[in-house]
Amino acid sequence: MFMMKLLVLLLFSVFITGCRGNSSYSLTPKLLLVSFDGFRADYLQKYEFPHLQNFIKEGVLVENVKNVFITKTFPNHYSIVTGLYEESHGIVANSMYDAVTKKHFSDSNDKDPFWWNEAVPIWVTNQLQENRTSAAAMWPGTDVPIHNTTPSYFMNYNSSVSFAERLNNITLWLSNSNPPVTFATLYWEEPDASGHKYGPEDKENMRTVLKEIDKHIGDLVHKLKMLGLWENLNVIITSDHGMTQCSKDRLINLDRCIDHSDYTLIDLTPVAAILPKRNRTEVYNKLKICSPQMTVYLKEDIPARFYYQHNDRIQPIILVAEEGWTIVLNKSLSKCDHGYDNSLPSMHPFLAAHGPAFHKGYKHSTINSVDIYPMMCHILGLKPRPNNGTFGNTKCLLVDQWCINLLEAIGIVISALLVLTTLTCLIIIMKNRLSVPHPFSRLQLQDDDDDPLIG
C-alpha cells in the first residue's frame, strides 16, 4: 500500500513536471455553491436521502463542518464566501446596530452596502476576472452592490419564489451566458424554517421536509444532466449551521432582571447583544446574576476561541445562552433556534461535493466553514483574499492535491528507506559478484594493475 503510494507520488511528480507549460485545462472551471439553510450534520445519519447519498457516492462528504460564532444565518453565509470570521467580515449578527452612523441592519433591511463592504465575497472577486461572471439565486448579500458590484445575474431576495424557479433560472444562467457564468450560488430556506417550528427531534415533520429537500437535490442533478452541465460542473452542497432542540420551560426572562430603560436590545437570542444606556457596569452586574444558564460577557472578555470581539458592531455586553435555552422578554415567544456556542455539535452543518475537482467516494470527518473559501478559490483559479481558512484542511477532497496523514507519511519514509537499503544491498552484492576471482579477469586485472607500477 505504502509502496503503491510512493510509486504513485513518483509518477505523479514526473507527470506534473512533464505537463508544465502545456495548457492542461481547456475548460474554465465552474462551481455551483448550494446552501440548504439549517441542515444539521446528523440529519444525514438520522433520515434517508437517496438522491443526496447518490451524489455523495460519486463525490465527497465532510460529515461535520465547524461553523463560526455566532451561529446565525447571515454571518455564517458570509463566512463561507469570504473565509473570514464574523469579527473580520463585519456581518456579526442578523440584527445589528452601528453606533457611529446610527444605522440598523436586519434580515429584512439588509441592502445597504455599508454592512457588507468590510469584506469581498468570492462572487465579486470572480466578477473582476476577465471573461467570467457570477450568478446568484438568493444567497444572502448577492442582491447588494458590495464594492459597487453585484453578480451579473441575480434575484432580489423573495422567500416566496419556489425552489424550482430558483433552480431553473440559475441553471439557465449557468448554461447560456456569455461570458460564461463560472461561479453560481443557490440558497433555500429549508430545513431551517421547519427546524425552528417543530424542533429537530420532531421526526415526523422533519422527515417530511427533509424528504422534500432530497427531492430538490434529485431535481438539481437531473436538471444539470439534461442541460449537459453535470460532467464539468463542480457542485458543493452545504449549509450555514444546525439547530437545537428547544423546550417551553427553558426560558431566561431578561425582564425579571433588568429594566427596559437601562439598555437597548440589539439582538435577542440565543446570543443577546446589549447596548447599555448609562452605566455599563451596573447593567453588567444585574445581568450577571440573572440566570445560571446564561453567560454574560463584557466585550473585552469574550473568549478568544469565538473570534468575536474586534468589531465596532459587536455590542459592549453579550449574553450567551446554554444549549437549548432561550432568552426572552416577558412578551416574546419561544421557538427552537440556533446561534449557540459553535463548538456544540448540534450547531454544525455538513458539506458534500461532486465534480471534476473532487474525489469520488471519499469521506472526511471535519473542516471549518472558513476553509471552504480557499478551496473554492483554488477550484476556480482565483487568488484568495486574506482570510482565516486553511487550504490544507480541504486537500484530501481534491483530486489535484496530494493528501497524506501522519501514519502514511511515516510509512512512506520507512518504505523509502527500505527501497534505498535494498538498492544498496543489491549494489554491494553485484560488486562482490564482479570481484569474485575468475581466471581470465584476474589475469587482465593484474595486467592492468601492474602496468602503471612498472611504467
Ligand X SMILES: *[C@@H]1O[C@H](CO)[C@@H](O)[C@H](O)[C@H]1NC(C)=O
Residues recognised as catalytic: 73
Give the one entry of Zn ion, ligand X, none that residue 192 binds, where binding means its C-beta sits below a cut-off of 5 to 8 angstroms depending on kind.
Zn ion
Give the one entry of ligand X, Zn ion, none that residue 265 binds, where binding means its C-beta sits below a cut-off of 5 to 8 angstroms depending on kind.
none
Render 314-327 in DSSP notation, one character per residue.
S-SEEEEEPTT-EE
- Give the number of residues written for the chain: 455
**Number of residues located near ligand X, criterion CB under 6 A:** 11
How far apart CA 129 and CA 181 sit, in angstroms, is: 11
Residue 388 binds ligand X, judged by CB under 6 A = yes
In 193-350, beta strands by DSSP E = 233-238, 251-253, 263-267, 271-276, 294-298, 317-321, 326-328
Shortest Cβ distance from residue 147 to ligand X (Å)?
16
Render 164-207 in DSSP notation, one character per residue.
HHHHHHHHHHHHH-SSPEEEEEEEE-TTHHHHHHH-TT-HHHHH
How far apart CA 170 and CA 437 sit, in angstroms, is: 81
Residues 328 and 253 sit within 8 Å (Cβ to Cβ) = yes
**With respect to Zn ion, which residue has the nearer C-beta, 110 or 192?**
192
Shortest Cβ distance from residue 314 to ligand X (Å)?
14
Residue nearest to ligand X (CB): 386
Shortest Cβ distance from residue 387 to ligand X (Å)?
6
How far apart CA 441 and CA 437 sit, in angstroms, is: 8
Give the one entry of ligand X, Zn ion, none that residue 239 binds, where binding means its C-beta sits below a cut-off of 5 to 8 angstroms depending on kind.
none
**With respect to ligand X, which residue has the nearer C-beta, 307 or 325?**
307
Give the one entry of Zn ion, ligand X, none that residue 388 binds, where binding means its C-beta sits below a cut-off of 5 to 8 angstroms depending on kind.
ligand X
Residue 169 binds ligand X, judged by CB under 6 A = yes
The binder of ligand X chosen from 228, 361, 386, 392 (CB under 6 A): 386
How far apart CA 355 and CA 234 sit, in angstroms, is: 4
The binder of ligand X chosen from 88, 185, 309, 342 (CB under 6 A): 88
Give the one entry of ligand X, Zn ion, none that residue 88 binds, where binding means its C-beta sits below a cut-off of 5 to 8 angstroms depending on kind.
ligand X
Q: What is the dihedral of CA 292, 297, 301, 306, to 10 degrees?
A: 90
Give the one entry of ligand X, Zn ion, none that residue 142 binds, where binding means its C-beta sits below a cut-off of 5 to 8 angstroms depending on kind.
none
CA-based nearest residue to 43, from 174, 202, 167, 277 = 202
Shortest Cβ distance from residue 259 to ligand X (Å)?
37
User: Which span (82-90, 99-107, 196-204, 239-247) binds ligand X, by CB under 6 A?
Assistant: 82-90
- Binders of ligand X in range 324-383 (CB under 6 A): none
**With respect to Zn ion, which residue has the nearer C-beta, 212 or 262?**
212
Shortest Cβ distance from residue 137 to ligand X (Å)?
8
How far apart CA 354 and CA 360 sit, in angstroms, is: 8
The binder of ligand X chosen from 149, 309, 387, 393 (CB under 6 A): 387
Give the one entry of ligand X, Zn ion, none that residue 386 binds, where binding means its C-beta sits below a cut-off of 5 to 8 angstroms depending on kind.
ligand X
CA-based nearest residue to 103, from 270, 266, 310 = 266
- Binders of ligand X in range 145-164 (CB under 6 A): 155, 161
How far apart CA 221 and CA 234 sit, in angstroms, is: 12
Helices (H) and strands (E) in the chain, counts: 14, 16
Shortest Cβ distance from residue 129 to ligand X (Å)?
21
The binder of ligand X chosen from 78, 307, 308, 373 (CB under 6 A): 307
Site for Zn ion, rule CB under 5 A: 192
Shortest Cβ distance from residue 82 to ligand X (Å)?
9
**With respect to ligand X, which residue has the nearer C-beta, 85 or 97?**
85
User: Which span (141-149, 241-249, 385-393, 413-421) binds ligand X, by CB under 6 A?
Assistant: 385-393
Render 113-132 in DSSP notation, one character per residue.
HHHHTTS--HHHHHHTSTT-
Cα dist. 13→8, 23, 34 in Å? 9, 17, 34
Shortest Cβ distance from residue 407 to ligand X (Å)?
29
Strand 233-238 relative to strand 251-253, pairing: unpaired
Half-sphere exposure of 319 (CA within 13 A, CB side): 31
Burial class (CB in 10 A: 0-12, 13-18, 19+), 135: buried
**With respect to ligand X, which residue has the nearer C-beta, 28 or 311?**
311
User: Which span (3-11, 69-77, 386-394, 437-445) binds ligand X, by CB under 6 A?
Assistant: 386-394
Give the one entry of Zn ion, ligand X, none that residue 306 binds, where binding means its C-beta sits below a cut-off of 5 to 8 angstroms depending on kind.
none
Tell me which residues touch ligand X (CB under 6 A): 84-85, 88, 155, 161, 165, 169, 307, 386-388
